[in-house]
Each structure stands twice: as C-alpha cells, then as structure tokens.
Structure 1
Amino acid sequence: MGCAGSSQTKGDGALKKVRKPKPWKHPQPLTKSQLLQLREEFWDTAPHYGGRKEIWDALRAAAEADLSLAQAIVDSAGVIVQSADLTICYDERGAKYELPKYVLSEPTNLIRES
C-alpha cells in the first residue's frame, strides 16, 4: 500500500492461506444460543466500525463457510489476510477489519444445551 512495488503476493511468495483459529476459551462459559446471539450482534454492528459493507459481507460469508470456500471468498473479494485465522484483514484501500474469535469458531468452554 503506497509503494509502487508492493503487492500482497510479494514477501513470502504466496498469499496467506485461511486456517481455523487456534483453540480459545471465552471468559465465561457460553451456550450455543448465547454464542449465536453474540455473533448476530457483532455482524449487525460490524459496518459501523468502518470499512465497506461488501467487505464485511464477504468476511461474514467466509467466517461461516468451510476453509476452501472461505479462501475463495476472501480471494475474490480482494481481502488481504494479515492473520491467517481471519482475525485481522484489510481491504484493497487499506481499511482494517478485525474479527473476534467468537465469530470464527466455537470456544473450548462451550456449554452443550440438552
């Protein structure tokens, strides 16, 4: 960004491949329904954090897809992945998008509802 010779493919020679986040633990144990509510609240308010709505939409689709489809989504949307687990990404204009782990995977302390 800003440098005529910069490119998302230079440096290590390849784009970062999307991967699942490492196991993580939420501060309080959550049920599946609480986790889904947190996710909905995040995605409903995400465009207010800045950036473009279409990039937020692509990131949501990628977060909810399997890894190979997620990779195709971020590639086609022009998303620059800084953290392979999608927690930090940029669009082609340099806007930063930060995703909390709870929208990308389930915590290790998820309470199974019966």
Structure 2
Amino acid sequence: MGCVGSSTKGVVDRHQKKKVRRPKAWKHSEVITRAQLKQMRDEFWDTAPHYGGQKEIWDALRAAAEADIHLAQAIVDSAGIIVQSEDLSTCYDERGAKYDLPKYVLSEPTNIKQE
C-alpha cells in the first residue's frame, strides 16, 4: 500500500511473468566461425559467476540459453528468475541481483561463416 499519489510505474511485478522469446537477429562486427562463437560463449560462461549473483542462477541461465524456447521458459520459471528482457538479455534473481547476457550467448549472428 502507498499513499494516494504513489505510482507503481516502473516497478517489476514478480507475479507477472514475461514469456521468453527468441532473440532478434543480429550481426557480429566481423564474420566469425562457429568455433570462434563457441569459444566466446565458453569464455563468458566460465567467467559469468565472477560478475556477481548466484552460480545456480548462472547455471540455469546457461541451460535456458542453450535450450529450445519452451524448455527455456520452464527453466527460468522453476529457478525463480525474473525476466526483464524477453530475450533473456537482462534478468534478475529473487534477491534482486542483475544478470546481463550478451547476445552472442543467446543466438547466432547472421554473418556466421560456414566451415
């Protein structure tokens, strides 16, 4: 409850869950191979827990990023992850810690080089 003039604009409602969607198409700054993309992803996931937050949430976000869209939704729901951006690029845990995911861990660029 608040006073008559209070507003809930901009407040995240933890009970209103956003549906996870596929990320929009994007283009890397230069053409890269699948091996380079995999290396970038592995480096991010190896260092992600050092950015703060809980390791269990990072593990759940990795599983969701690598899963199909329906399984990703189930993973974030069961882990109690609050999805700010529907493409999973910005999420929060129940304690309010923020998790930012780069687009290269969420989808492939349009200019990936076929090996």
With structure 1 as the length reference, what TM-score do the two structures score? Answer: 0.89
Aligned-pair CA distance for 1:15: 1.3
Aligned-residue RMSD, C-alpha: 1.3
1:8 aligns with 2:10: no
Runs of 4+ in structure 1 deviating by more than 6 angstroms, as ranges, are: none
* SS in structure 1 of the partner of residue 99 of structure 2: strand
- Report the Cα distance in structure 2 between the residues aligned to 1:74 and 1:93, rounded to whole angstroms: 15
Post-superposition Cα deviations, 1:74-106, rounded to whole Å, max 9, x if no partner, equal: 000000000000000000000000000100100
Aligned: 1:84 with 2:90:
no
Q: What SS is found at the alignment partner of 1:97? A: strand
Whole-Å separation in 1 of the counterparts to 2:28 and 2:71: 26
* Counterpart Cα distance in 2 of 1:53 and 1:42: 13
- The count of corresponding residues between Structure 1 and Structure 2 is 105
2:48 aligns with one of 11, 33, 46:
46
Structure number with bigger Rg: 2
Q: Structure 2: state its 5+ residue gaps.
A: 1-7
Does 1:33 find its partner at 2:35? yes
Identity of aligned residues (%): 72
1:26-73 Cα deviation digits (max 9, x unpaired):
111110000000000000000000000000000000000000000000
**Residue aligning to 2:72:** 70
Question: Match for 1:76: what amino acid?
Answer: S
Q: The residue matched to 1:40 in structure 2 has which SS?
A: helix
The 3-state SS of whatever aligns with 2:108 is: coil
- Structure 1 runs not aligned, ≥5 long: none
